[in-house]
Amino acid sequence: MDLAIETRALNKSFDSFKAIDELYLKVPAGSIFGLIGPNGAGKTTLIQMLTGIIRPDSGEAFILGHSIRERDGSIRNRVGYVPDVPVMYPNFTVAEMYRLGSKLYPFWDWERCRELQRGFRLLESQRIRNLSRGQKVQVALVMALALRPKLLLLDEPTAGLDPVVRRAFLQAIIEEVADQGTTVFYSSHNLNDLEQSADHIAAIFRGQMLFSHSLDRLKRSVHRLQLIFAKDTPVDKIRELSGLVDWQSSGRVVTITITGELNTINPRLAVLEPELIKELNLDLEGIFIAFMKSKGYYYGSEKWEVSTGQ
């Protein structure tokens, strides 16, 4: 399996704050890979290390087969990057940014650039500093796609974009993957977008990898089940269920979120002798929130709590 991105035992600290902690990541080539995690979990730090803005303390990372420690800039010839707040050069016009891109990237495609530019309806004569954040993201995306990338690194690109632009953005990426087999690695809080477009999801929390699966496998391996009991709910036995991520009880009804394949879970549940077992729908947001809760990151009675967790 070809890996577009790979990290091994990656570590990064800022003063005494550990931002990335022994991270192992594998992103298959040609996939759309989503990175999710709470704010401050290390998503931006990871992406900045992959693009070369930040250097890791220890560990290895490879993009398109090249180590990020290489001094040669040409490893980024086919890597497009859209940060969460694109800066670029405020005094340059949009046209001048494109011109710069065409000089810096050897595979720059003016046709594709113009085609995307027209699609996004940007004014080439406008200066970057006069653009709204969403428009800057669009310019950055046009540039990232016009360079004919093999890998796209996107850091919360659709945050704060209106739905029309967001849809256009997603569409452009999907077309790129369909036509060119580009790998897309993107961090986002927008789980709906990810659920629709990603084939792999990884979750990061406090600099550590929580899980990394194909989306299909993730959905197959986590289930939300409702158990209705005739009499008292066997709370102790429920707590001891292996693979339990989260549970809530209300009277005789217990809702559990549990990992594992259904055919192994059902026998384990049958032991508890519930009157009825019903499977509820569990989307990516539900999976994410359940996992975060198990790690101690959840909404408490009055305020956000981050306990020491498990």
Partner 1 sequence: MVCLVVQKEGGLLWLDINPRLSTPIYQQVVDGIKEAVARGILVPGERIPTVREMAAGLSLNPNTIAKAYQKLEQEGIIATMRSRGTFVADRSSADLNVARKKLTDMVEKVLIEAYHLGLDREAIEQLFADSLDEWEKRGEK
Partner 2 sequence: MRGLRSLLWKEWRQYRMSFLLAFIIISWEPVLVSYLVYRTSDRADAWSDIIVNILASGSSNTEYSAMVVAVMLAAFMLAGERDKSLNYLVSTPVSRREIVLAKYISGSLALTAIMLIISLFFLILGQLLPAQYSIQEVIQWFILTTAALLSLFSLALLVASFSRGILFSSLLTALILALPGMMISLTLQVLRQFYQVSAALEFKAHYIVTYLFIPDYIIRGGRYIQSSNSNLVINRINPDYPIEVGVLLIASFLFLGLAIEIFEKNPLERQGELLFFGNFKQIGMIFIAFLSAMVWAGQMAASLVLFLVYFLIMWLGIYLAMVNLIRLINLIRYGQV
* φ, ψ of residue 119 in degrees (nearest 5): -60, -40
Choose the one of partner 1, partner 2, none that binds residue 106, judging by a C-beta under 5 to 8 angstroms depending on kind.
Answer: partner 2
CB under 8 A: which stretch of 98-106, 116-124, 273-281, 292-300 binds partner 2? 98-106
Question: Among 68, 198, 202, 254, which residue sits at the site for partner 1 (rule: CB under 8 A)?
Answer: 198
Could you say whether residue 55 binds partner 2 (CB under 8 A)?
A: yes
Q: Which member of 29, 100, 228, 253 binds partner 2 (CB under 8 A)? A: 100
Q: Rule CB under 8 A: choose which of 58, 67, 192, 248 binds partner 1.
A: 192
Q: Number of residues interacting with partner 2: please give it, by CB under 8 A.
A: 29
If one counts every other C-beta atom within 10 angstroms of the C-beta of residue 5, the result is: 25
Binds 175: which of partner 1, partner 2, none (CB < 5-8 Å by kind): partner 1
281 binds partner 2, rule: CB under 8 A: no
**Cα–Cα dist 279/54, whole Å:** 45
**159/168 Cα distance (integer angstroms):** 14
Query: In the complex, what is the shortest distance from the CB of residue 125 to partner 2, in angstroms, rounded to a whole number?
Result: 15
Instruction: Indicate the residue type of 228.
Output: I
Q: Which of 256, 296, 260, 305 is nearest to 277 (CA)?
A: 256
Please, which residues have CB within 8 angstroms of residue 116's CB and are 6 or more apart in sequence?
141, 142, 145, 146, 172
Asked if 215 is part of the footprint of partner 1 (rule: CB under 8 A), the reply reads yes
Place of tokens 């065409």: 102
> Judged by CB, which is closer to partner 2: 88, or 201?
88
Q: For residue 54, what are its two tokens? A: 């930040």
Three-state DSSP class for 292?
helix
Does residue 106 belong to the site contacting partner 2 (CB under 8 A)?
Answer: yes
Closer to partner 2 by CB, 72 or 179: give it.
Answer: 72
For partner 2, which stretch binds (CB under 8 A), given 32-40, 87-95, 159-167, 264-272? Answer: 87-95
**Cross-strand pairs, 175:** none
Count helices and strands in the chain by DSSP H and E runs: 10, 16
Binding residues for partner 2, per CB under 8 A? 14-15, 51-55, 71-77, 81, 83, 86-92, 96, 100, 103-106
